[in-house]
Amino acid sequence: MKKLEEYVRSIPDFPEEGIIFRDVTSVLQDGEGLCLAIDTMQEKIKDLEYDVIVGPESRGFIFGMPIAYNHKKPFVLIRKKGKLPCETVSIDYDLEYGKATIEMHKDSIQKGQKVLIVDDLIATGGTTEAMIRLIESLGGEVVGIVVLMELAGLKGRERIAGYRLESAITYEGK
């Protein structure tokens, strides 16, 4: 049986020289790789008690939904600005080259709910930090974050220190 890392395609010098791009589509396109990814992520949080799963557009949806389904938990979407039809709360945050805004429905998290964030990747931690702040603004308690891949060299874990972060795969570089 292949290791999870073997399903991830690594593309050197993309999007710029010196960067190794870790391509999640190669995991999604292989049935065994996808099952192994979901199973590994679930194993990382098997002891965690939570009420709801939150996932960001779009790969957080892909990995969060099967975990929510398997654990019979509700799933809440975090989307880019302007994509949700009901009343929303939003937060602006900085990207490497600009700014972004994410939103969630105002009624999607109830005060005191324990929340698990599921995503494909943590790099610098900016998006994850913004999601945490958004969830907490609604009264939710982020009890854990689980990602398929962590780019440890970009220090996202340090940015969200104090929150439990579980990674199925950790790459030491960027």
Bridge partners, residue 15, by sequence? none
Among 68, 167, 172, 173, CA closest to 116 = 68
Verify whether residue 87 is a known catalytic residue.
Answer: no
The catalytic position among 22, 59, 79, 157 is: 59
Q: Distances from the Cα of 42 to the Cαs of 71, 99, 123, in angstroms? A: 9, 32, 20
The catalytic position among 17, 49, 87, 96 is: 96
DSSP character at residue 96? T
Verify whether residue 59 is a known catalytic residue.
Answer: yes
Bridge partners, residue 119, by sequence? 147
* Residues taking part in catalysis: 59, 96
